Amino acid sequence: MDTLADLAAEYRGLPRRNVTTAAVIEELRHYDLDVSGLGWLEVQHVDGLAELTALVRWMERVSGQKSNHGEATVLAWADVHGAVAVIDDLDARKAARAGGLTVWGVLRVIAEGVRGGRATEYVASGLVDALLASGARYPFAQGGFLEWARKNGLL
């Protein structure tokens, strides 16, 4: 997580504000995932009137009865605050784009970090392999990030 924090710290030489929602943290804890390495993320509650209105809209677009609630809160917050949403769920990303939001996956954040000189390709590839080993699902096997990123114009 420290490496991801370093990669996400800035974009094109400017500091980046990295935000997640309290609902995402709650969801991670619910699945007994370690959140101790996420101190670099600013945790926001989606509870302002504009945010709640946006949340209802995004829940309708991306959430099933038991899925994508965290993604919906991230999209609602990004929508209200004019931010880039970073989520990996493909269906939620498609819905976000269809709804007019700018949305990236974690892989793009990592690739942008390499392009910005904050990490080598070797470090990025190792990070992505670690994410895959921890259960992340990406469109390539371990060792395939760099080829995939080049093929998709990210590197």
Q: List the Cα angle 87/88/94 in 5-degree steps.
A: 80
pLDDT in tens, 55-102: 999 999 998 767 789 999 999 999 999 999 999 999 999 999 999 999
Burial 63-85 (b: 16+ CB within 10 A, else e): beeeebbbbbbbbbbbbbeebeb
Question: Could you tell me the pTM of the whole model?
Answer: 0.89
Q: How buried is 151 (Cβ within 10 angstroms: 0-12 exposed, 13-18 middle, 19+ buried)?
A: exposed
What CA dihedral angle connects 23, 93, 143 and 25, to 10 degrees? Answer: 0
pLDDT in tens, 12-58: 778 889 999 999 999 999 988 889 889 999 999 999 999 999 999 99
Residues 144, 29: Cα–Cα separation, whole Å: 30
Q: How buried is 43 (Cβ within 10 angstroms: 0-12 exposed, 13-18 middle, 19+ buried)?
A: middle
How many Cβ atoms sit within 10 Å of the Cβ of residue 19? 17
